[in-house]
Amino acid sequence: MQKIYAISLVTLFLLSPVMNAQTVTGIPLEQARICVTGFDHNRPDPFPGLGDFIGWVGDTVRLKNGDLLFVHSAGYWHVSFATPIVLNENLIESYQKSGLDLNHKAPTGGRIMACRSSDNGKTWSKPELVFNGKIDAAPSATCVTSRGTVIQIINVQASWYGFPKAPKGHQKLNTMQLYIRSTDHGKTWSEPKQLKSSGTYYTRGRSRILELPDGGLIWMCYDMNEGGKLLDGTIHRSDDDGETWRIVSVIRRRKPEGDQTEFDDLVVSGDVDRFLKLGSAMDEGWIDTDEGDLGRLSNGKLVLVVRPDGGTLVSSDQAKTWKQIGVVGPKYVYAPHMVVLKDDTIVLTAGGSRGQSVFLSTDGGQSWSKPITIDPAAYGYGKLTKLEDETVLLSYVQKHSAPQRCMLVRFQLNEDRTGVELLSLGDE
């Protein structure tokens, strides 16, 4: 698979200039990086089930009152299942080796928490509760709309894993997505509502919620059908400030058959009903549309980058149909997340290349720089936030299991868009 994409990428790069960005300047990482919250720093107050896994990072957003809100999870492991847990016996040994304590008591699993900053990220408040449901919850996406509404999408993880369908008495979807809203800067929240899924097995997501010029909100998740192995991408849209959502398109990608495969032929997208009738693809001619993130260029085109290859897709009709124009790869790329600067430079963070890295594109995602490594020792799963001065916040986690910390770095691009400069956090 990787060899096929490497060949295709060479062909593409012959047509587009390849950026050669590899430079990191500015202050040393040790001075630029801070821990917002963690097992040993600014730890949440104790609650039933809390362990040393403080993270996954959610989005960092600017509230209408000027504060920054840093959303994250708090639990005890990579997946902080609510106990009791029902796992396929084939998974138990490997999960225990990676730190899962089957005897850990967590009645509701992990929770979503948030810290606040009134000095542009220099200092942060103690974590406060955003959401605690009946079972494990982690942040999928957070945004502040132009009306000032804070929207939080929640990943709800069932307490079972490794089975073809839900054990009796458990949540049907292995993971599902809820959403809540706040009109008072995240102090109080609405009752949760469920997002419709295009998959019958699970639905997950970590894309940003992107607001369009017409006020519409779009969000991407990835879904799997019962009995299938393929992940389809799903685009949700809201036209009422996040009160209600509908699915506008589903995305499925073909594997290239060789270096002559046209990128336009690699994407099948369209109405959700069509894909529900098709079910999951059962042959090997497809590739996952996994862990994606959305951005918008000044010409109105939408950009979507997805795992596992960093496939770069664009839409000219507000996310209804998509075509592939390139890949970030050729190496494995996971957890992509992006911001678009005023000059249409795309800044993408992703893991898979020597820790937490940044990739740059100045041609709308057709070609990408080599990885610019910010933190070579980090596990990652980073998220980016563009500030008003065009500097960028990068949040990420140090490890994939406890003990865990949520880290934050601020940087800016150099003038020729070939590297990044690490900056101190706070007012400048």
DSSP annotation string for 318-359:
TTSS-EEEEES-SS--EEEEEEE-TT--EEEEEESSSSEEEE
- 346 beta partners: 340, 361
Closest CA to 177 of 157, 191, 161, 200: 157
Count of residues for the chain? 428
Q: How far apart are the first and last CA of the chain?
A: 46
pLDDT value at residue 228: 86
Closest CA to 395 of 166, 110, 121: 121
pLDDT value at residue 3: 29
Cα–Cα distance measured from residue 9 to residue 21, given in angstroms and rounded to the nearest whole number: 17
pLDDT value at residue 7: 28
Cα–Cα distance measured from residue 359 to residue 346, given in angstroms and rounded to the nearest whole number: 8
Domains of the chain: 1-27+206-376 (no CATH), 33-194 (2.120.10.10)
Cα–Cα distance measured from residue 197 to residue 91, given in angstroms and rounded to the nearest whole number: 26
- Its pTM stands at 0.92
Closest CA to 177 of 216, 139, 145: 139
Cα–Cα distance measured from residue 65 to residue 124, given in angstroms and rounded to the nearest whole number: 16
Cα–Cα distance measured from residue 178 to residue 381, given in angstroms and rounded to the nearest whole number: 21
Model confidence pLDDT, tens digit, residues 63-106: 999 999 999 999 999 999 999 999 999 999 999 999 999 999 99
Kindly give the parts of the chain with pLDDT less than 50. Answer: 1-21
pLDDT value at residue 263: 76
**C-alpha 267: how far from chain center:** 21
Residues 6+ apart with CB under 8 A from 180: 131, 151, 152, 154, 189, 190, 191, 192, 193
pLDDT value at residue 22: 59
pLDDT value at residue 352: 78
Per the CB < 8 A criterion, the answer to whether 292 and 304 are in contact is yes
Closest CA to 338 of 315, 368, 379: 368
